[in-house]
Structure 1
Amino acid sequence: MTQSVVVQVGQCGNQVGCRFWDLALREHAHVNKRGLYDEALSSFFRNVDSRYVKPAVLVDMEEGVVNQILQGPLREVFDSTQLLTDVSGSGNNWAVGNMTYGSAYREKIVDKLRKAAEQCDCLQCFFLIHSMGGGTGSGLGTRVLSLLEEEFPEVCRIITSIYPSAEDDVITSPYNSVLAMNKLTEHADCVLLVENQSLVDIVNKIKIMSHGTKPGLIIKRNSTVTSGQGGLSGAEKPFDAMNNIVANLLLNITSESAKVRA
């Protein structure tokens, strides 16, 4: 059975990744009413003592988001030994994430990537989720990307990159994005570019459609496209609606990949 490893880097990458696993489990529960471990789940999870465990690597140089995941409903999905955090963050600086933390944590990151790969029967690809504007997402995210090419040159690397909007209030985000983009062109096999302002526009359109009355132009309010309410995440959080759009994009890609394998 072919499998994929998801690597989540930075605050944005981990928030989007959390939304992805939330929606993926909800989608599977909707189809598989009995909750049995089947071929669809085996593409992303291992069955360990009747518990679904995801071969994934979560990296952030701040503890906040990863700690929320460990304390939330998805805590049983992740292997705590595959999480790597620091306390100070990268200060919205690409060089700090890429060079300082990238060098300091290189061996630990490689070790966790290898362990995640070893858990797969037949590793198909890596999905890396990160932002382009933040220091950890852009700097350390692209450093992890280069390590993936170095350690697993034959394995496909599919990257989901979240770009800052033109009105981003972080003054270094344009520089971080340019420096990160250079690394993406060197080391990525496929890059899915998502821009923050576009996500805002899509969310606003979805809100209008979810309250619409015209046939064919209505989106159900409890749909996984509209929000995370009713899922594992509990109460709606800031950026959840935007992260849902990216999570649905990844769900569609992995769904098509499963169809191809079948």
Structure 2
Amino acid sequence: MGVTVFVLRPEPGLSATLARGRKRGLAMEAMPLSHAEAVAWQVPEGTFDGILLGSANALRHAGKGTDEGAGRISETMGGSAADTGLDMLPRLPVYAVGKATAQAACSLRFPIAQVGEGGLQKLLDTLAPDAPLRLLRLAGEDRMTLSPPEGVTIETCTTYRIVHRALDEEDAARLREGGVVLLHSGVAARHFAAECERAGVDRTNLSLAALAPRIASQASDGWKSVAVAPETNDAALLSLVADMCH
């Protein structure tokens, strides 16, 4: 059967990661410890030149806007305050953190202005607009602080939150047997480390494979090993895991 690879991320990414890993012959096991939950929000005043996305979840859950927000945005689209869901957002060009987020935006009929590699801050660092660029950032409650370059302003709206669950006894028992744990976010890394401490799971039996250095840093220390994918995408992460397992 080989080394067990535990996947902590929530859907819809969970199923995709499981499928990719199993295609590589890895012994993948789903152990989602969180889910995304929409929160009410409203669009800020004024007009925007684009939408900044660090996560596909921010767009998927953006339909939970308030009536006031829907009214504001519908005025720019010629609609009514009764508009709901993604119809409250104009199809502005999207600046996406990576390919998966860009694909999610495309599936919802948003044009793509630029796709980054290596994180949202690196994407911003590549922007050098000839005219002022005002971006609407859709994000989760727990997000990284950004430093926009000259000429770029960002208005941030929280469209979702991550809700965590505790490790149950069955989860803890499986983890005590050892394996490799995939970490797709810093929030997940912190929560997982805290839950292992609470449940008495021996960290020295577990190796961590993180999507980025900042994610690995959130899991603290004491693990059997910690490795970081060479690129911030699922394919690179699973390639790393394959090497760790064999």
Task: Confirm or deny a common fold (TM above 0.5).
Answer: no
Q: Please tell me whether Structure 1 or Structure 2 has the larger radius of gyration of its CA atoms.
A: 2
- Structure with the higher fraction of residues in strand conformation: 2
TM-score by length of 1: 0.38
- Structure with the higher fraction of residues in helix conformation: 1
